[in-house]
Amino acid sequence: MEVLFVSHKYPPATGGMEKQSYELIEGMHAHVVVRKIVYTGKESYFHFFRKLNGRILAMVHRYPNIRVVHFNDGLIAALSLWHVGYDHLRRVVTLHGLDVVFPLGLYQRFILPRFNRYDRVVAVSQATAVAAIRRGIDEKKVSVISNGIDHRLAPKTDVTEWGKFQRKYHLPHGSKILVMLGRPVKRKGFSWFVREVLPLLPEEYYLVMAGPFSREVSKTEERLRWLPGRWRQLYMLFMGYPSDQMELRSLLNDSAYVDRIKHVGKLPREELDVLLSHGEAFLMPNISVEGDMEGFGLVCLEASACGAMVLASAIDGIVDAIQHRKNGIHVEPENAQAWSSAIQGLVYDGKGEQRHAYRTYTLAHFGWDKMVHGYAALFKELSVT
């Protein structure tokens, strides 16, 4: 069987969707003959999408044994609804969360329901599946296939490496380090946590944030200030813009917090693993944001694989990734007192037995191989029906 994979989220760009797309395509080589059309950054997105119909037709003509076309997110699938010339092939789309709840009326009323034209819709979590079905996607066409995780991730327990990290980033010795990671978008709850929860914690707790972050106001940010609020929100959601960055920047410079938090920026993988391995806990305090959602919560699993104790909001697709008291702890979202109590209620585990048990659960239930097998079974089913 030959499958054509179409994706505009692919390396060298980095991110959760790019990682998922790469692992899916590479992993499928063990099951099918892989053909692919992916965005590599060598042309503009405009030209990539403009030429896509012709490129798919050329690929199908060149490889007549292609039976299935897979679109790796809702945006590329939405634009492909108007393609012509390959309706005879089975077509599958994967939905990641935001591409289901994106709050544009035109998209919700006229585009998303047309995804029923696809033969199968894959949701990366049960929460994403429910959101899609509520918006008119035929339940019989929806399958849930969770994202995976790299099993090569492992705890970095060398105290010497931790000492080097602390010195390099000037972290206070003797503090209980709390870790948050990711792009500063509103749904992640970063600024909410700093404002509402951090003041409730004893001073021994110190928050370290990591991930892409600009300390200077960009030209794009200046231009966005002139847009009406509604259009600004849509732009930020569509482009994955760091919508919480401005507020975080203000909090990091606020005298009330400056001695209790530090943003270390985007870290090399080796340093990130050291931070996750030695922190008191990894936090994912997501909040509810209209028109946005956390489709899965891959970063929670990566933290768990590094031996971190994960505390995460019981919201959206995070509950698919983190099972309460199995590989992490659920906390009521937007409840500052609940977060404070959960953090302070962590029991010191000198031998790391609980963290090891949580990590074992994560690796047993999530993996890129498992995800790939799920897609392979789906493609096989479609090819014979």
Q: Indicate whether 310 and 290 sit together in one domain.
A: yes
Residue 154 maps to a domain: no
314 assigned to some structural domain: yes
- Tens of pLDDT, residue by residue over 227-260, are 787 777 887 787 778 889 999 999 999 999 999 9
3-state secondary structure of 282: strand
Res 264 pLDDT > 80: yes
Query: Residue 204: which of 260, 263, 274 has the closest Cα?
Result: 260
Regarding whether 209 and 318 lie in a shared domain, the answer is yes
Q: How far is CA 370 from CA 68, 160, 174, 295, 366, in A?
A: 20, 35, 40, 18, 7
Phi, psi angles (nearest 5°) of residue 227: -80, 150
Contact yes or no for 192/247 (Cβ under 8 A) = no
Same domain (yes/no): 29, 58: yes
Same domain, 167 and 49: no
Q: Does some domain include residue 175?
A: yes
18-27 contacts: CB < 8 A, separation 24 or more?
A: 19/298, 20/72, 20/96, 20/124, 20/147, 20/148, 20/298, 20/371, 21/72, 23/148, 23/368, 23/371, 23/372, 24/72, 24/368, 24/371, 24/372, 24/375, 27/368, 27/369, 27/371, 27/372
Question: What is the distance between the alpha carbons of residues 107 and 130, in angstroms, rounded to a whole number?
Answer: 18
Residue 276 sits in the same domain as residue 324: yes
374/361 same-domain check: no
Span 318-357, pLDDT tens digits: 999 999 999 999 999 999 999 999 999 997 776 678 999 9
The answer to whether residues 251 and 164 belong to one domain is yes
pTM: 0.91
pLDDT per position as a tens digit, 111-151? 999 999 999 999 999 999 999 999 999 999 999 999 999 99
Of all residues in the chain, the percent with pLDDT exceeding 70 is 99
In this structure, are 254 and 240 located in the same domain?
yes
Q: Is 120 helix (H, G, I), strand (E, B) or coil?
A: strand
Same domain, 173 and 25: no
- Same domain? For 281 and 185 the reply is yes
CATH number for 313: 3.40.50.2000
> 292-316 pLDDT, tens per residue?
999 999 999 999 999 999 999 999 9
Q: Are residues 244 and 289 in the same domain?
A: yes
How many domains, in total, are found in the chain? 2
pLDDT on residue 350: 66
Q: Which domain holds residue 129?
A: 2-148+367-383
